[in-house]
Amino acid sequence: AVPFLCVYLALRRSNTLPPASVPGRKSAALVLLVAAGLVFWVMRILQEADPIWRAASYGLAGAAVVMTLLTVYLTQGRRRAWHFAFPIVFFLVAVPWPTPVEGLVIQSLTRFNAGLVTEVLNAVGVPALLHGNVIEVSTGLVGIDEACSGIRSLQATLMIALLFGEYYRLAATRRGWLLVAGPALALFFNFVRTFVLVSVAAHAGLPTMQRWHDPTGVALLVGCFTCLWLVAGWMGRKTKHSTSNIQLPTSNSPEPTAQSSEPTLGNQRSTRRLAIALLIWAV
């Protein structure tokens, strides 16, 4: 879904375009563009040799992002490149996390989730013992795998938090709080799901728990998505209310003048050739 969301966010940003300008350091940008194209080529060969190597995936995605930003800079100028930076860089959330980072997060969340569920089960009168990532109840053993660690919902909520922060055009501080709220909601709903599944296994047996597994997973994602949307909408309303209270300048105050220069016809022709060259290189 991320590439389509990038296009959608870029279309939203195109409604409020700053004035175009001629790039100031065109030679340096062209050198960086060629370098990014070479990196893209090398990483594509490495990915063909090892498709699951995530460093190659990051190299490909990073080179594509840099080439896109530089193309916008060379065609429209610095202001518009900065204006479209977020929808372009947002593409990186589609790349799987590096294996060492993901492994560390999975193991930490799995141990935390299993230990917390075990403590709460014993507190409410359901006997449970913790054996690493396995919870032992009276009817058998319940394993807490990587899906139950919360890593999937954590990655999804981080993406959704970034999306809603851009959709409601929140300030940087509010976007930061939204990035905190997303993982917190993911971990909370994941704890609730694990607690429900282990409780069902303790009272009705492991076969019954298997029937509850997928429905609780769907409820986890829907509930987490809805709550995060409500939080983002609440922040968006507060932002709109605060901006509406800002006093507008009077008619006597001078209006700022935008210093901009539209790209020349020659620059547009060179840009067209540049776009064709990039397309041929990518193919």
pLDDT in tens, 153-173: 788 888 999 999 999 989 999
The answer to whether 239 touches 168, Cβ cutoff 8 Å, is yes
Quote the pTM value: 0.76
Number of residues assigned to the chain: 283
pLDDT at residue 240 is higher than 70: no
CB neighbourhood size of 195 (10 A)? 19
**Residues 61-115 pLDDT 10s:** 999 999 999 988 988 888 989 999 999 999 999 998 888 888 888 888 888 888 8
Could you give the CA distance from residue 11 to residue 146 in angstroms, rounded to a whole number?
36
- pLDDT band at residue 247 under the 50/70/90 scheme: very low
Would you state the pLDDT for residue 261? 46
Reply yes or no on whether the pLDDT at 25 is more than 90.
Answer: no
Instruction: Please answer whether residues 6 and 162 qualify as being in contact, where contact means their C-beta atoms are separated by less than 8 angstroms.
Output: no
Residues 6+ apart with CB under 8 A from 60: 40, 43, 44, 47
- Contact at 8 Å (CB) between 171 and 239? yes
With a pLDDT cut of 90, the percent of the chain lying above it is 29
